[in-house]
Amino acid sequence: MASQPKRAPRPGLVLDVDRSTPPVLFHHGEGFRLEKLPPERSRIIYPAEPLPGLADPDGAIRDALANPTGDSEPLHALLFAGMKLTIAFDDISLPLPSMQKPDIRQRIIEAVLDLAAAAGVDDVHLIAALALHRRMTEPELRHAVGDRVYDAFAPQGSLYNHDAEDPDGMVILGQTPHGEDVQISKRAAESDLVVYVNINIVSMDGGWKSTATGLSGYQALKHHHNPETMRNTKSMMDKDNSELHRSNWRQGKVLKDSDLKIFQIETTINNNTFGHDGPMSVLQKREWEWSPRDRASFLAMQTGLKAMSGRARRNVFQSWKAPYEMTSVQAGEVEAVHDKTIENVYKQHLVPVEGQTDIMTMGLPYICPYNVNSIMNPILVMCLGLGYFFNMYKGRPLVREGGVLIMSHPTPWEFHPVHHPSYIDFFEQVLTETKDPSEMSEKYEKQFAEDEWYRHLYRTSYAYHGVHPFYMWYWGAHALEHLGQVIIVGGDTRSVRRLGFRPASTLNDALEMATDVVGPQPTITHYHNPPILMADVT
């Protein structure tokens, strides 16, 4: 168990910057910047400190399975000999960064399999519910489900990655009243019970998004992964104001009304991303509380990183396993479970913020959901900043309409050739012509989505689906429409310009450039993330 600080965790904080405020940490890819924000008109939003994890996570899991939430029987009552059981679980994109062993999925899957064994269930399949993400490698699967489960099921071919392009492996279960197709893995559809094992790192995850998206394919996803839906998703982290979730929930209702029985298990984790002690712990401390040891480790880290090659830096960061702890587990009926999950996620993430700002600043870290053990290419930089971080709000966006977003990231012109082949073509062919999500959707999406080569790489190699870079761009559609300008500090100038954003060498330059859009003496809000926080803007 990770070590805990002796005092109670403090809630998030909105700090008004004054002259005594030390320079603030900006993540900058596989590095960091310390930036001084203008006093008297800047504020910094700090995340809450990590909530304590459950003292007995295995006990809590067993308890959740035996005492389900909502209209559901206990798991053991749903299991019987001769049944077809499918256990689906979240893929490599969760949590971020990967967590220290044992992964939550391992704990839960072992608990579920114990009950299944007791009930005499022989036909069990385990599926990594990755939708159109890349397939997980053996070490990644082993890390997620544990060696015991992997060795028991993978050799027989009953532990595998979801294949949304398998012509014989997908079925259409129906259509929503809005004409949205509901597509799902055939194995799941034919099962007597689907147990979904989730890790909720942000409030966007879970609910019907688990099964209706994770086990689905392009034919269903295109109904909500599109520019129009994403523009009306305000935000994707606030289910009640998210068109994306409304669409998912409609698809979920079709699943619910079919014969498919789903037992949803959702978990929440704290935001102990970098640990309470150890070399990275300084990254989740407030700057004025950095002890001499923190400062020394930060300086050592900076010096060491500068001396490394880009690849070595990436390897160092990607090898970090977060000491996340489970803060809650709930199981049973999908919607009732998800409501509880959201409540628990918000307990950790929500920070009340009064009013919007002219300029929002953020430092983008080395990782996003789509570059685990991979490269954060420029499209993913856009997706992380405008898709994820911009949308980490409830109520209103942190930055006012027509305001400026300043992000810090090196934005290298670099792509992982195995993981992101369609991204390379998207960057060269599509972005050179248009940055408009609707235009690219109409003109290019189908071509990329149905490209046989991309399909082949998705199914047999470890490539994201051909359509995936479009989805990344759509993810930022709401921000693109809302913002007056986007500036990237310290990024590769050519990459930044290709994205349609403005490059700046320093934060001061960026702030100066931003005044052309928002006027002189603008208000500035720095979003101090990660660890994750979500602004509740009133």
Site residues, another protein (CB under 8 A): 6-7, 13, 15-18, 20-23, 34, 286-290, 292, 294-295, 298-299
The answer to whether 514 and 400 are in contact (CB under 8 A) is no
Distance CA(106)–CA(143), nearest Å, equals 8
Q: How far is the CB of 43 from another protein (least distance, A)?
A: 10
Nearer to another protein, 39 or 310 (CB): 39
Whole-number Å distance between alpha carbons of 514 and 506: 12
- The nearer residue to another protein, 20 or 309, going by C-beta atoms, is 20
Between strands 32-35 and 24-27, the pairing is antiparallel
CB of 312 to another protein, least distance (A): 23
| Smallest separation (angstroms) from another protein to the CB of 538 | 19
- Smaller CB separation from another protein, 13 or 152: 13
| 48 contacts 346 by C-beta, under 8 angstroms | no
d(CA 332, CA 194): 11
List the 534-537 sheet strands across, edge first.
350-353, 534-537, 393-395
408: enclosing H helix or E strand: strand 399-408
Prior bond of 102 cis (ω within 30°): yes
Considering only CA atoms, which of 405, 408, 377 is closest in space to residue 391?
405
Please tell me whether residue 473 adopts helix, strand or coil conformation.
helix
Element spanning 170, H or E: strand 170-175
Residues across the chain: 538
Q: How far is the CB of 265 from another protein (least distance, A)?
A: 37
Nearer to another protein, 13 or 517 (CB): 13
Q: Are 139 and 471 in contact (CB under 8 A)?
A: no
Q: Under a CB-based contact definition with an 8 Å cutoff, are residues 21 and 39 in contact?
A: yes
In the complex, least distance from residue 284 CB atom to another protein, rounded to whole angstroms? 14
- Phi then psi for 337, rounded to 5 degrees? -65, -45
Strands (E), 93-149: 123-129
Smaller CB separation from another protein, 2 or 14: 14
Which residue's CB is nearer to another protein, number 17 or number 440?
17
Structure tokens of 75? 């798991």
> Would you say 299 or 312 has its CB closer to another protein?
299
Residue closer to another protein by CB (options 168, 354) is 354
DSSP 26: E
Strands across the sheet containing 193-197 = 159-161, 123-129, 84-90, 193-197, 262-269, 326-332
> Least distance (Å) from another protein to the CB of residue 237?
27
Nearer of residues 20 and 156 to another protein, judged by Cβ? 20
Find the shortest distance in angstroms from Cβ 137 to another protein.
38
Shortest reach from residue 17's CB to another protein, in Å = 7
> Are residues 527 and 362 in contact, defined by beta-carbon separation less than 8 angstroms?
yes
Q: Which is nearer to another protein, 24 or 392 (CB)?
A: 24
Give me the least distance between CB of 21 and another protein, in Å please: 4
| Residue from 163, 12, 190 nearest 84 by CA | 190
Nearer to another protein, 13 or 119 (CB): 13
Three-class SS of residue 233?
strand
**Closest separation in Å from C-beta 421 to another protein:** 41
CB of 437 to another protein, least distance (A): 40
